[in-house]
């Protein structure tokens, strides 16, 4: 079992990663000061609950566990779902000393964490992530839901008591979700750690097959990188922006495909786009650009943009992105393998060209 300690201004908490470690749950709860008999509301979704809810409930026999299951997917990150969960919580006697347990992927983590942050002005919560992508969402304290007019517009910063990551839960993940999640691990390597990138390149197959040792290591490294960046910049004033590497074009592709592309699938294209643009600007060598392509392909990611997408429309969507300040195109671009920088003033001409070159 690997343990990482996350420190924020007001709160420190551990992330525990390992195969078949769900049996550590009761001990961890007690260590965190959550005493036996405490009421624990498990929030999960319709895919995860049939697989793992009973396993978790069994671990909680000394506590007073109840559960609430929402539909799977981003549709559940909605204010109506928050209201239903709160109603259920009140009716079942959740009080200020109770705890919420998020059992699921990033959707459940974001939703359950948000409910915890506003229920009776904030109660404690813990996370048991069940997707690879959730290694990203379980660090940084961002919780929240979507609004009909945009994703993640409602939320808060709220930290869990601990994160318990049982990697054996990942084995039931659909293949596309595995690949998509691994892209965020790649991203963490590509923005900050060349050695880790080399390790990822060598271990691509083991990771895609969910080799437990390899996955634990990759999640640990990914979380460490994200945690370091987040600790430096809790409220997103500066450096944290590099976590958006690949996400500007990624969001465009998610939007234009009407979310037919999974998040990681879209981000992979976005990262390759950034590498290609950086090469065009002379910051990345042709070899490094080729390595990007090689790496992403090893992880079974597409690196081209559907040729039917209109380049002008993509440019316009990017310009509306909240990550662009005052209409200036601001992007995270690689300057080496394992290193990126934030660039404020990119000539739109080069962006336009690169988009066109990526179409296939």
Structure-block tokens of residue 120? 């009776």
Contact between 77 and ligand NAD per CB under 6 A = yes
Q: Return d(Cα 306, Cα 360) in angstroms, integer.
A: 6
The single residue of 135, 188, 224, 244 carrying the catalytic annotation is 244
Q: Which of residues 92-111 bind ligand NAD (CB under 6 A)?
A: 104-108, 110
Contact between 281 and a copy of itself per CB under 8 A = no
Closer residue to a copy of itself (CB): 120 or 335: 120
Contact between 255 and a copy of itself per CB under 8 A = no
Least separation in angstroms between CB 49 and ligand NAD = 9
Antiparallel, parallel or unpaired: β 124-129 and 99-104 = parallel
- State yes or no: 247 annotated in a binding site: yes
Q: Return d(Cα 187, Cα 174) in angstroms, integer.
A: 21
The single residue of 39, 77, 179, 247 carrying the catalytic annotation is 247
Closer residue to a copy of itself (CB): 259 or 324: 324
The single residue of 37, 121, 307, 325 carrying the catalytic annotation is 121
Q: Return d(Cα 57, Cα 38) in angstroms, integer.
A: 13
Q: What does residue 211 show for φ and ψ, rounded to 5 degrees?
A: -55, 125
- State yes or no: 58 annotated in a binding site: no
Q: Which of residues 316-335 bind a copy of itself (CB under 8 A)?
A: 322
Closer residue to a copy of itself (CB): 30 or 118: 118
Question: Cα–Cα distances in Å, from 230 out to 62, 223, 226?
Answer: 35, 10, 6
Contact between 226 and ligand NAD per CB under 6 A = no
- Tell me the Ramachandran region of residue 43: left when phi exceeds 0, alpha when psi lies from -120 to 50, beta otherwise: beta
Q: Return d(Cα 94, Cα 33) in angstroms, integer.
A: 17
Contact between 117 and a copy of itself per CB under 8 A = yes
Contact between 131 and ligand NAD per CB under 6 A = yes
Judged by beta carbon distances under 5 to 8 A according to partner kind, the member of a copy of itself, ligand NAD, none in contact with residue 166 is none
Q: Return d(Cα 355, Cα 277) in angstroms, integer.
A: 9
Contact between 10 and a copy of itself per CB under 8 A = yes
Contact criterion met (CB below 8 Å) for 329 and 318: yes
Judged by beta carbon distances under 5 to 8 A according to partner kind, the member of ligand NAD, a copy of itself, none in contact with residue 229 is none
DSSP string, 216-235: HHHHHHHHHHHHHHHHH-TT
- State yes or no: 3 annotated in a binding site: no
| CA 329 from centroid of its chain's CA atoms | 24
Closer residue to ligand NAD (CB): 57 or 281: 57
3-state secondary structure of 262: coil
Contact criterion met (CB below 8 Å) for 305 and 359: yes
Structure-block tokens of residue 61? 């026999």
Between 251 and 290, how does the x/- string for binding to ligand NAD read (CB under 6 A)? ------------x---------------------------
Contact criterion met (CB below 8 Å) for 319 and 177: no
Query: 318-340: b or e for each residue (b if 16 or more CB lie within 10 Å)?
Result: beebeeeeeeebbbbbbeebbeb
- State yes or no: 79 annotated in a binding site: no
Please report, as ranges, the residues that interact with ligand NAD according to CB under 6 A.
45, 47-48, 51, 72-74, 77, 104-108, 110, 130-131, 133-134, 136-137, 140, 142, 152, 169-170, 172-173, 177, 263
Question: Which residues bind to a copy of itself, rule: CB under 8 A?
Answer: 9-10, 79, 82-83, 86-87, 90-91, 95-96, 117-122, 142, 144, 147-150, 153-157, 322
> Which residue numbers belong to the known binding site for Zn(2+)?
184, 247, 263
Binding-site residues for NAD(+), please? 106-110, 130-131, 142, 151, 169-172
Active site residues per annotation: 121, 142, 184, 226, 236, 240, 244, 247, 251, 263
């Amino acid at each position: 079992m690997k343990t990482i300690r996350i420190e924020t201004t007001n709160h420190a908490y551990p992330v525990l990663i390992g195969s078949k470690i769900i049996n550590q749950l009761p001990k961890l709860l007690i260590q965190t000061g959550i005493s036996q008999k405490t009421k624990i509301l498990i929030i999960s979704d319709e895919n995860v609950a049939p697989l793992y809810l009973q396993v978790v409930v069994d671990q909680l026999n000394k506590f007073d566990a109840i559960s609430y299951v929402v539909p799977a997917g981003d549709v559940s990150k909605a204010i109506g779902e928050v209201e239903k969960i709160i109603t259920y919580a009140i009716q079942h006697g959740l009080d200020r000393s109770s705890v919420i347990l998020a059992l699921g992927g990033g959707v459940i983590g974001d939703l359950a964490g948000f409910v915890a942050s506003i229920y009776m002005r904030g109660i404690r919560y813990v996370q048991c992530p069940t997707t690879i992508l959730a290694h990203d969402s379980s660090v940084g304290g961002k919780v929240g839901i979507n609004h009909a007019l945009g994703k993640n517009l409602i939320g808060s910063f709220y930290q869990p008591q601990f994160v318990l990551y049982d990697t054996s839960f990942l084995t039931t993940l659909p293949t596309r979700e595995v690949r998509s999640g691994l892209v965020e691990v790649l991203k963490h390597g590509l923005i900050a750690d060349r050695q880790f990138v080399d390790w990822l390149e060598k271990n691509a197959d083991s990771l895609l097959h969910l080799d437990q040792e390899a996955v634990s290591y990759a999640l640990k490294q990914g979380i460490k990188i994200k945690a370091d960046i987040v600790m430096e910049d809790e409220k997103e004033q500066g450096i944290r922006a590099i976590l958006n590497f690949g996400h500007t074009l990624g969001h465009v592709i998610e939007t234009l495909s009407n979310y037919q592309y999974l998040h990681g699938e879209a981000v992979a294209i976005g990262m390759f786009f950034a590498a290609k643009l950086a090469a065009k600007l002379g910051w990345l060598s042709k070899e490094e650009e080729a390595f990007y392509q090689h790496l992403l392909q090893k992880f079974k990611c597409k690196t081209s943009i559907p040729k039917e997408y209109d380049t002008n429309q993509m440019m316009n969507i990017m310009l509306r992105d909240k990550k662009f300040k005052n209409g200036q195109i601001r992007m995270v671009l690689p300057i080496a393998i394992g290193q990126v920088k934030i660039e404020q003033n990119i000539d739109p001409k080069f962006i336009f060209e690169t988009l066109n070159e990526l179409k296939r």
